[in-house]
Structure 1
C-alpha cells in the first residue's frame, strides 16, 4: 500500500514590489493636498450691507495695486440682513491680517477730492487692503464703503468734536491751523440721545503737537461778512475752504497752550471764531434798562461800552419775560432792555460780588445808559455807559424812575437809569422851543399892535395941529414983542416940531416902519397858524393842503 504524505505550505516572507505604486500615489496625493493648502493662504470673511459689483471667482483683493487674494463666495447671512463674502488670500499676506487692517470697495466715485476709481470702469470693482501692524491676527472684517482717511496706526492724534449744528462739516473736509491744512475730518455721527453731531478729526504728525487742552475749534466757511455796530468785518479763507469749507483750531490770544491731549479727547465745535470770544465771558451781572425812545437798530449781541471800552453785551431787545402787561409798560415806563456786564472784560480775578459793588457805586455817582449810533450805514445802535456830574432830575423824572425800579425789582433784575442820546436831546429841545412859540399869544399881540398903530396916528395928527398952532402963535405980534432969547427958543421948538410934521423925513420914516411892522405881523400869522397845527414843522416838512377847487353853482 502506497504511503501518502501531506503538502507543507509556507508563507512567502518577501515584500512584493507591486505595493510601491499605490503607496507612492497616496504619498503624492497627501503632499499635493498639503502643498495646495499651504499655497492657498487664509480664508477671509468680509461683512457688508450691499455686495454691488462683487462677483465670486472674479473680484480681486489688492494692496497697492498688487493681487493678494480673490473672492470665492458671496452669500446672504441667515437673517438676510447682511452679505457674507469669503475670500482666499495668498500665503505671504496672512501675517498682515491683524486688528489694524482695513478693507474697502474701490469703485468710481465723485467727491470733494475729485473723481476716483476710474480704472474700475473696465476691469470692475475690487477690494483694497490696507494692512495694519498690530500683533493680534484677525480673519473677519467689516467691508467699508469708502476708503479711510488715514490708517488706524498712522502717526498723529484723533479728537472728537461735538456741536448742535450738523450742517457745517462733511467727511473729507480739511482741518486748518492758521490757514494751513494739517488734518482731515474722517467720521461724522449723530447722537440721538444727546441730539448732537459728533465729528472725528485726524491731525497728522508732526502737527499733532499743536493740539493742546486749551485750543478751540470753529467752522471755517471760507468767506464771511459781519456788519454790526462795531463796523464791517470781511474774512476770506483759502481756496479749499471757499469750495468745501472746513474746521480751524487755534489758541485764543493770551491763553496758555496747556498740556497735550491723547486720542479721543473731546472739544466743542463753535459756529465761528467770534462766538468763541463771546463764550469766554461766562460770569456776568444782568441789569434792566428802560428807554423812552426808539430802540430800532439795537439788537441782541450789540456791545455795551463804558467810554469806548466794551464791558458787556445786550441780551434781549425788548425784554418782556416775567413782565406783566408789556404793552402798557412800553407806553408808560419805556422799552425794557436786558444787558449783562461781563466780569472777564474788565480785569482778571474779578468776582461777581466785587462787580456788583463797583456797579452800585458807579450808579450812585450818576452812571446812566444811553443809546448811541455804532454804524451810520446800517443804523445799528449800541449802549454807552457814562457818569454824568449833573444828577439833578425833575419831579416827573423821579416818579418815572421809581416806577421803573419797582417794575425791575418785580422782574428780579436790578435797574440802571437811562438818559436820552444827543440827537434825542436836540429833538426834544427843538420840540420844547416849538411848543413855547406855539403857546405865544400871537392874536392878542396883533390886536395890540393895531391899537398901537392907531394911537400913533392920532398922536401924529395932534402933533401936526400943535405945530400949526405954534406957528400961528409965533407969527402973532404979541410973541414978536417977547425978548429975542425967548423968540429964538420958540423958533428952535418950531423947527423941532416941524421935523415931525407930515411930509418930513422923520414922519415918513416912522410911518414906513409902522407899515412894515404891520406887514410882518400879517405875514407871520400863517406861520404861527401852521405851528399851532403841526409843532414840528420847523424840523420836518409840513403837509401842504390842496388848492381849493371851485364848485359848480346849483341850478
Structure 2
C-alpha cells in the first residue's frame, strides 16, 4: 500500500520586523543604570587611605567624612594593618573634595570628648562618629594620610595669629588651655614641644582675631594657673583668672603700664614667666655674683630667698653651703648671692661717676660700713632673707678686690646679739654661789622665825596687862564727853548765863558808842560839863 505524496507547505510572506512593547522596560532600565553609573563615575572623586590606631566608632559604608558639617566623602572599607599596629580606612571622596588630597591635610575622628578646651562632639551621641577634615594648602598631593588622635585646636580657616612662648616647663598647661587678656579668653594653646637641648619647652599659642592686635613687642606672658598668693605688710592678696584656669591651667598676657608697643608679627617668640609679678618687673640688666660668710645657723634660708637693700629687692640667694676653715679651725657657712646693680641705678636720682670702676664703688661702700646681714622675713614660717645695709658701728673691714666672686663682709643680726647677751648673762649667773646664799637664807629665815615667836608672846602679854587699863580709860573718856555734852547743850545754865553776859556786853558797847559820839561833838564837856548841868 502506497502512501499518497505530501502536500507542499504553504509559504507565507514575512511581515516587516517590529519589537514587542515588553522589551521597552529592560531597555529603559538599562539606560537609567548606565546614566547613573556615568553620573557616579563623573561625580566620584579620588580615593584616599587614612590610618588610625583604632577603628572605634567607624563603620564601612556609613561613616561620613565632613568638613564644616558638609559631607565630602564616605568610608568604603576598614581593614587591619599587617603588623596589627593600626587600621587602614579607605575613604571615597567626592569630586568637589579633590582639594583634600593636599599633603598637609589633616583628618581625625570626631567623638564625644572632654578635655581642657571643653566638651566637644556631643552631636555624635545620636548620629554616630564621623571623620573631620582640615584642608591643607600644600601643592603636593598624597593618597595616604595619618589620622590625628585628637582634633586640632586651631584649624587653617581660623582668623588670628600664632606666637611662640619659651618656658622651663609646661606646668599644668595642656593643648587647648585658654589664653586670657584682662580675664577674657582670647586664644588657646595649639601645641608644645621639648627644645632640642632639653633645657626648656616651646609652646605655640593662637590668639583669635581681633584680639591679636593687643599682642605687642613688649607684651609679657605668664602662667595664670592656680592661685597667686602674696603675704605682705598690707595683708593677704590672692590673684587668679577663673575657676577653669585654676583647675586646668592657663596663660595670661598684658603690656607693662598698659602701653602696647608695635604689634608683634606672627611667630614672634616671648618668654613665659612663672607669675604676673616676675613677668611685669623691669629687665634686671647684668648681674654680679658675691660671696658671704656667716658664722651662724642658716636655718630658714633657702636658694631663691630675696636679697634687699632697705626694702628694695636687688637680688636673690643662689646657693648655701658649709666649709671648714683649717686655719681658724671652725666651720663657716658660705652663701652665694646674685645681685642686679641696675635695680638701684633705676631708682637713683644721680648717675654714678664714670671715673670710678664698680670695684672702687664697692670698696668705698664697704669702708662706709656696708655689710650683709641675715634677717627674719616671716615670723610664721621662719623664713630668712639677706639684707644689705650700712652699719656705722661695725668693725672696719677691707674688700679684697682680687677675689672672684667678690666677698662682702657680714654682720650678725640683732637676734644673734641678743642670744650672745643671754648666754653671757647665763654664764655670769652660773658663777653666783647659790648654795651658800641658800644656806644663809635658811639661817636668816630661822632667826626671823624666832623673832616672830617672841613678838607673838609680847603681844599676848600686852593684851593681858594693858587691855583692862585701856578699857577703864575708855570709860573715863566717855564720862568726860557726856559731861561736856551737857555743858554745851542749848538749855544748860552755862549757856543761859553766857547769853545774858553777851547781852550786857552789847548794851555796854552801845553806851560807849554814844559817849564817844558826844565827846566828838563836845570835847569841852570834859572840862565844863554838860550845858544842861550849868543851867540847873
Normalization by structure 2: what TM-score?
A: 0.64
Q: Is the 2:117–2:177 contact (alpha carbons within 8 Å) kept by the matching residues of 1? A: no
Structure 1 residues 170-209: aligned runs within 5 Å: 170-190=174-194, 194=198, 196-209=200-213
- 1:269 paired with 2:300, answer no
**1:312 is matched with which residue: 311, 315, 334?**
315
- 1:359 paired with 2:362, answer yes
CA displacement at 1:388 relative to structure 2: 2.8
- 1:55 paired with 2:59, answer yes
Q: Is the 1:229–1:302 contact (alpha carbons within 8 Å) kept by the matching residues of 2? A: no
Paired position in structure 2 for 1:419: 411
- Deviation string, structure 1 residues 485-523 (Cα, Å, up to 9, x no partner): xxxxxxxxxxxxxxxxxxxxxxxxxxxxxxxxxxxxxxx
C-alpha change, 1:433 and 1:41, in structure 2 (3 Å) is closer
Structure 2 unmatched runs, 5+? 1-16, 439-536
Paired position in structure 1 for 2:40: 36
- 1:84 paired with 2:88, answer yes
CA displacement at 1:362 relative to structure 2: 0.1
Paired position in structure 1 for 2:244: 240
C-alpha change, 1:101 and 1:177, in structure 2 (3 Å) is same
In structure 1, distance between residues paired with 2:199 and 2:334: 34
Paired position in structure 1 for 2:339: 341
Paired position in structure 2 for 1:464: none
CA displacement at 1:252 relative to structure 2: 4.4
CA displacement at 1:392 relative to structure 2: 4.6
- 1:157 paired with 2:156, answer no
- 1:371 paired with 2:374, answer yes
In structure 2, distance between residues paired with 1:222 and 1:388: 42
C-alpha change, 1:127 and 1:428, in structure 2 (3 Å) is same
- Deviation string, structure 1 residues 261-288 (Cα, Å, up to 9, x no partner): 223x334433334454689436222222
Paired position in structure 1 for 2:388: 385
**2:76 is matched with which residue: 72, 75, 84?**
72
In structure 1, distance between residues paired with 2:407 and 2:195: 42
- Deviation string, structure 1 residues 403-443 (Cα, Å, up to 9, x no partner): xx89x978x43222222222333343444455456667999
Paired position in structure 1 for 2:300: 297
Residue 415 of structure 2 aligns to a residue whose secondary structure is: helix
Residue 345 of structure 2 aligns to a residue whose secondary structure is: coil
- 1:225 paired with 2:229, answer yes
- Deviation string, structure 1 residues 283-306 (Cα, Å, up to 9, x no partner): 222222222233322222222222
C-alpha change, 1:201 and 1:62, in structure 2 (3 Å) is same
Paired position in structure 1 for 2:287: 284
In structure 1, distance between residues paired with 2:54 and 2:166: 30
C-alpha change, 1:158 and 1:429, in structure 2 (3 Å) is same
Q: How many residues of Structure 1 are paired with residues of Structure 2 in the alignment?
A: 411
Residue 262 of structure 1 aligns to a residue whose secondary structure is: coil
CA displacement at 1:346 relative to structure 2: 1.5
In structure 2, distance between residues paired with 1:252 and 1:369: 32
- Deviation string, structure 1 residues 385-415 (Cα, Å, up to 9, x no partner): 222333556xxxxxxx79xx89x978x4322
C-alpha change, 1:443 and 1:384, in structure 2 (3 Å) is same
In structure 1, distance between residues paired with 2:434 and 2:226: 68
In structure 2, distance between residues paired with 1:230 and 1:416: 32
In structure 2, distance between residues paired with 1:329 and 1:72: 87
C-alpha change, 1:116 and 1:366, in structure 2 (3 Å) is closer
In structure 1, distance between residues paired with 2:137 and 2:183: 33
- Bigger-Rg structure (1/2): 2
In structure 1, distance between residues paired with 2:164 and 2:81: 34
CA displacement at 1:179 relative to structure 2: 2.2
- Deviation string, structure 1 residues 222-274 (Cα, Å, up to 9, x no partner): 323355899855323312212211122333459973551223x3344333344
Residue 148 of structure 1 aligns to a residue whose secondary structure is: coil
Structure 1 residues 61-140: aligned runs within 5 Å: 61-76=65-80, 82-94=86-98, 98=102, 101-131=105-135, 140=144
C-alpha change, 1:76 and 1:217, in structure 2 (3 Å) is same
- Deviation string, structure 1 residues 351-375 (Cα, Å, up to 9, x no partner): 9x94433222101222112222222
Structure 1 unmatched runs, 5+? 1-15, 394-400, 447-555
CA displacement at 1:378 relative to structure 2: 1.8
In structure 2, distance between residues paired with 1:387 and 1:217: 38
Normalization by structure 1: what TM-score?
A: 0.62
Q: Is the 1:306–1:385 contact (alpha carbons within 8 Å) kept by the matching residues of 2? A: yes
CA displacement at 1:174 relative to structure 2: 0.4
Residue 41 of structure 1 aligns to a residue whose secondary structure is: strand
In structure 2, distance between residues paired with 1:154 and 1:329: 71
Residue 189 of structure 1 aligns to a residue whose secondary structure is: strand
Paired position in structure 2 for 1:509: none
Q: Which moved more, 1:49-58 or 1:424-433?
A: 424-433
